[in-house]
Amino acid sequence: MVSQSPPDRVDALVVGAGFGGIYQLYSLLQLGLSVKVIDMAGDVGGTWYYNRYPGAMSDSYSEVYRFSWDKEDLQTYPWSHRYVQGPDVLKYLEHVVERHDLRKHMLFNTELLSAQWIESEKLWDIQLSTGATVKATYLITALGLLSRPNFPDIPGLNTFKGTLCHTAAWNNDIDLKGKRVGVIGCGSTGVQVITEIAKYVKELVCFQRHPQYTVPSGDTPVTAEYRAKVNAKYDQLMEQSRKSLYAMGFEESDRSFDSYTPEEQETIFESLWSQGNGFRFMGGGFNDVSTNKNANAAACAFIRKKIAQIVKDPEKARKLQPYDHYARRPLCDSGYYKQFNRDHVSIVDLKETPITAVTGEGIVTTGGKVHELDVIIMATGFDAVDGNYSRVRIQGKNGETLKDHWSHGPTSYLGVSVANFPNMFMITGPQGPFCNIPSAIEVHVEFITEAIKQAEEAAAAASKTGEQKKVVVETTMKAESDWNGVCEKSVEGSLFKETASWIFGANVPGKTLAIRFYFGGLRKFREELQKVVDSNYVGFRPFLES
Ligand code: NA7
């Protein structure tokens, strides 16, 4: 492949070639702007480029885990199951890039190192890992919510003589068949990888700190009839999803737990369990599982009962049963609990016997027990949301860096814009909506594109009258602080707030605990965006400066 250099000057530099970067590129090209997308990865895919671990799967329904803007492609692009497997998400994104001839605007193996706002020129001066520098009117970060791996500092980890791999930096050459494998972590990723590899490894030891509630995914192949039904109402389906809380492709319940009798409640839980899908289990039967302690406790008891029924060894079942609220990102699986009925699959409860070290031979837990292993898989998650920004130096007005700006926790206006960082837009930045990610990306990209369009048109109109104005799209400190208040309010009364997870930054030692999402749901989030557009961008300074 011929190596390419970026041009010295572009209208927009987009960082990241996943769902967000692809759609942003497509949209800005429609405006006639010059755009480059860079990505440190070797090809398109974003999160999916790196997370190639066995069992990787999206847990939004296939029909909504894609772009909604290419209507013809929605009708024709095939998907075989209710959920898209990791390799198929990658194929889909590659397909979109080819279909819209976007690759020629992309540079891979190219990392953003730093960017400075040049006030006198109203431009971003951007340094890349290739040694190149680029000036851009707009800097758009599509870094993903989950792209910086969380690699815990376990003593002796680098002395391990076998293979060590994080799920978010998966090496496809690893052959797990017939191996003794340890998996550290049992969140969404750990559950997927354990469920998949339990079938063919020689021995599997699962190191679990907090058990999590997971329900069946209900994944099945889709029939031609099912697809035809989806195709017949695709527009309505996408619109319904955009008007829902989580945009996961199902109707959320509008009835409270207490409005049903105990028998009805049990029947609803059973029905949700057999239909499958984590978000559906949380929001499809009752509208208050994450806010009403009784409803939440009932959901917990229901799942705990299922675990006890599925897992035959009572000691394994006890360890697998969670004890805290059901208020982390809801999980689903393709038969996780039943894997523990295999003799070669065991569980180590790290609350009872923490890991003390890793040696050349394996993982040591308290009491000196050595779990001898050929492979250690770190399914330990991500330094999520703002973690992706901490490896780059972005300097805005008055020399302020994003790191300084976020020293008390990451804030933004609408998850998109940060005061003192003009013409910088984030796709799914901190304090964006908590929902199906492609849907969140679409609303952000459409908002950013419209703001840029308005600003560019205003600049063109001014220049016709002989005024030389420059585009500066920047939010105010007040708007940012008010939005932080809106986000805080959106999680009031929610048990999510009382439950430690990556959503608030609790998973990485030393990370500031802060509200990193807007929890009001996608429908309300879109309404907030619309209010801003309709009011000629309230919360932003005027778009033109001399
Ligand atoms: P998660 O949900 O953050 O899960 C990470 C898991 O790793 C979780 O079980 C953690 O235990 C565990 N962990 C983290 N650090 C350690 C150490 N030091 N020792 C033992 N165990 C540890 O990440 P995922 O990748 O599973 O999922 C993240 C999102 O990606 C998911 O929501 C999807 O949207 C895709 P803990 O619970 O903190 O005790």
Ligand 1 nearest-atom number relative to CA 209 = 39
The per-residue pLDDT string of the chain (546 residues; one tens digit each, 9 = 90 and over) reads 444 678 899 999 999 999 999 999 999 999 999 999 999 999 999 999 999 999 999 999 999 999 999 999 999 999 999 999 999 999 999 999 999 999 999 999 999 999 999 999 999 999 999 999 999 999 999 999 998 999 999 999 999 999 999 999 999 999 999 999 999 999 999 999 999 999 999 999 999 999 999 999 999 999 999 999 999 999 999 999 999 999 999 999 999 999 999 999 999 999 999 999 999 999 999 999 999 999 999 999 999 999 999 999 999 999 999 999 999 999 999 999 999 999 999 999 999 999 999 999 999 999 999 999 999 999 999 999 999 998 899 999 999 999 999 999 999 999 999 999 999 999 999 999 999 999 999 999 999 999 999 999 999 999 999 888 999 999 999 999 999 999 999 999 999 999 999 999 999 999 999 999 999 999 999 999 999 999 999 999 999 998
Q: How many Cα atoms occupy the beta-carbon half-sphere of 10 within 13 Å?
A: 23
Domain boundary among 327, 349, 378: 378
The answer to the question of residue 1 being in a domain is no
330 and 463 belong to one structural domain: no
15 and 73 belong to one structural domain: yes
Verify whether ligand 1 is closer than 6 Å to residue 190 (CB atom). yes
For residue 279, what pLDDT is reported? 97
243-283: pLDDT as tens digits: 999 999 999 999 999 999 999 999 999 999 999 999 999 99
Residue 505 is part of a domain; what is its CATH number? 3.50.50.60
Distance 490 CA to ligand 1 centre (A): 24
For residue 438, what pLDDT is reported? 97
394 and 271 belong to one structural domain: no
Counting the structural domains of the chain, the total is: 2
**Max Cα-Cα span within the chain:** 80
The answer to the question of residue 85 being in a domain is yes
188 and 123 belong to one structural domain: no
399 and 345 belong to one structural domain: no
Closest CA to 50 of 25, 81, 16: 16
390 and 373 belong to one structural domain: no
For residue 467, what pLDDT is reported? 87
The answer to the question of residue 291 being in a domain is yes
- Of 507, 511, 516, the one to substitute when testing ligand 1's pocket (max ligand atoms within 8 A of C-beta) is 507
Verify whether ligand 1 is closer than 6 Å to residue 381 (CB atom). yes
The helix/strand/coil state of 419 is: coil
Distance 72 CA to ligand 1 centre (A): 38
CA distances from 322 to 212, 287, 294, 345, 449 (A): 6, 22, 16, 19, 44
Ligand 1 nearest-atom number relative to CA 190 = 26
256 and 366 belong to one structural domain: yes
The answer to the question of residue 127 being in a domain is yes
The answer to the question of residue 2 being in a domain is no
Domain boundary among 378, 412, 429: 378
Ligand 1 nearest-atom number relative to CA 168 = 25
Distance CA 40, CA 45 (A): 11
For residue 2, what pLDDT is reported? 40
Verify whether ligand 1 is closer than 6 Å to residue 144 (CB atom). no
Verify whether ligand 1 is closer than 6 Å to residue 214 (CB atom). no
Verify whether ligand 1 is closer than 6 Å to residue 278 (CB atom). no
Q: Is 456 within 8 Å of 471 (Cβ atoms)?
A: yes
Ligand 1 nearest-atom number relative to CA 378 = 7
Contacts of 82 (CB under 8 A, 6+ apart): 61, 62, 217, 218, 219, 220, 222, 276
Closest CA to 330 of 56, 59, 53: 59
Distance CA 528, CA 517 (A): 14
> Taking the complete model, does pTM exceed 0.95, yes or no?
yes
510 and 446 belong to one structural domain: yes
The answer to the question of residue 244 being in a domain is no
166-222: pLDDT as tens digits: 999 999 999 999 999 999 999 999 999 999 999 999 999 999 999 999 999 999 999
395 and 520 belong to one structural domain: yes
Domain boundary among 378, 404, 419: 378
Verify whether ligand 1 is closer than 6 Å to residue 152 (CB atom). yes
Is the sign of the CA dihedral 339, 342, 348, 349 positive or negative? positive
Distance 184 CA to ligand 1 centre (A): 9
Distance 165 CA to ligand 1 centre (A): 15
86 and 183 belong to one structural domain: no
The answer to the question of residue 241 being in a domain is no
User: Which tokens go with 506?
Assistant: 């609790």
Verify whether ligand 1 is closer than 6 Å to residue 340 (CB atom). no
The answer to the question of residue 234 being in a domain is no
Measure the CA angle with vertex 210, ends 204 and 216; round to 5°: 70
364 and 411 belong to one structural domain: no
Q: Is 178 within 8 Å of 189 (Cβ atoms)?
A: no
Structural domain for 444, as ranges: 9-148+384-545
Distance 348 CA to ligand 1 centre (A): 15
Verify whether ligand 1 is closer than 6 Å to residue 146 (CB atom). yes
Contacts of 42 (CB under 8 A, 6+ apart): 49, 108, 109
359 and 421 belong to one structural domain: no
User: Which tokens go with 182?
Assistant: 């340890």
Distance 95 CA to ligand 1 centre (A): 31
- Give ipTM to 2 decimals: 0.99
Nearest CA to ligand 1 atom 3: 381
